[in-house]
Amino acid sequence: MKPEEKLRQLQILEQSLQQLLLQKQAFQSQLVEIESAQHELKEADTAYKIVGNVMIKAEKAALEKDLKEKNEMFNLRIKNIEKQEEATKEKVKKLRQEVLESLKKKESEGRHGSQTS
C-alpha cells in the first residue's frame, strides 16, 4: 500500500474511532438516565411512565423489569463499543507506525539521492 493510501486509511480509522466515542458517550448518557430512574423508582410508592406526550400510571414491578433490561442492554452495547474502540486503536497505532516508517524511508532516500548527484 502506498503511503498516501495508508494516510487516507489512517484518517478513515480515526473518523471511525471518533464515531465510536460519540456512540459510547450517547449510550453512557442514556445509562445514567436509566440508573437514575431505577433509583427513583425504588423509593417511589407509585410508578408512572411516559407514553408519547402523556404520563400514565404503571405497574412498578413491570417498570423495574423494563429498566433492568434496558440497563443490561446499554451495558452490553457499551462493552461492544469498547471492544471495537480497542481494535480500532490498535489498527490506528499500527498504521501510524507504518506511515511514519515510510515517511522516514522516503526522507532518507531523498537525502541519499541528493548526495550522490
Report the pLDDT value the prediction gives residue 115, as an integer from 0 to 100. Answer: 60
**Grid coordinates given for 115:** 548526495
Report the pLDDT value the prediction gives residue 113, as an integer from 0 to 100. Answer: 65
How would you classify residue 52: left for phi > 0, otherwise alpha for psi between -120 and 50, otherwise beta?
A: left
Residue reference for cell 541519499: 112
* pLDDT tens-digit map of 49-80: 999 999 999 999 999 999 999 999 999 999 99
For the chain, list residues with pLDDT below 50.
none
Report the pLDDT value the prediction gives residue 104, as an integer from 0 to 100. Answer: 84
Say how many CA atoms lie within 13 Å of 116 toward its Cβ: 6
**Could you tell me the pTM of the whole model?**
0.80
- Which helix (H) or strand (E) covers residue 59, if one does? none
Domains of the chain: residue spans and CATH: 35-93 (1.10.287.370)
